[in-house]
């Protein structure tokens, strides 16, 4: 069950010589959706960085089901879940306009301080999953 989504259209330059979206591009779609989600929750990276809080991806699991092709229209969905006090798992799907599942992902993120140490930021993590 998603709580947020962003619509996209494949651009020709995102495709490789085989005529399909390059596998690395899918992570851009997923990340853009997470950034838009953060903005919808009143969170943005520059402000968090000024506060010494860095939200970072620590694990990415992607299951590719089918390739996207030039001009395909699709939606990236997102459903976050808090995992302990330090992590948020973003469950994300890429779905073609005809409802066909293209990709499923689990992206695990955490907050770290400027020294790279994990930090518990309950109010921010809670805001991510409200």
Q: How many residues does the chain have?
A: 130
Starting at the earlier edge strand, list the strands of the sheet with 73-83. Answer: 4-9, 73-83, 87-96, 101-112, 54-64
| DSSP H or E segment with residue 83 | strand 73-83
Give residue for tokens 């969170």: 43
Q: Which residues contact 14 (CB under 8 A, 6 or more apart)?
A: 21, 22, 25
Per annotation, catalytic residue among 16, 44, 63, 97: 16
> Alpha-carbon distance 105 to 108, whole Å?
10
44 tagged catalytic: no
> Residue 30, SS3?
helix
Q: Which residues are the active-site residues? A: 16
């Amino acid at each position: 069950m998603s709580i947020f989504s962003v619509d996209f259209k494949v651009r020709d330059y995102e495709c490789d010589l085989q005529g399909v979206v390059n596998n690395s591009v899918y992570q851009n779609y997923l990340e853009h959706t997470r950034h838009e989600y953060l903005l919808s929750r009143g969170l943005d990276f520059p402000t968090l960085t000024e506060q010494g809080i860095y939200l970072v991806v620590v694990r990415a699991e992607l299951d590719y089901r089918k390739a996207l092709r030039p001009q395909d229209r699709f939606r990236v969905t997102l459903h976050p879940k808090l995992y302990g006090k330090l992590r948020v798992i973003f469950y994300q799907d890429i779905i073609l306009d005809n409802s066909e599942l293209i990709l499923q992902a689990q992206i695990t993120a955490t907050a770290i301080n400027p020294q790279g140490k994990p930090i518990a930021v309950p109010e921010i993590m809670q805001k991510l999953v409200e």
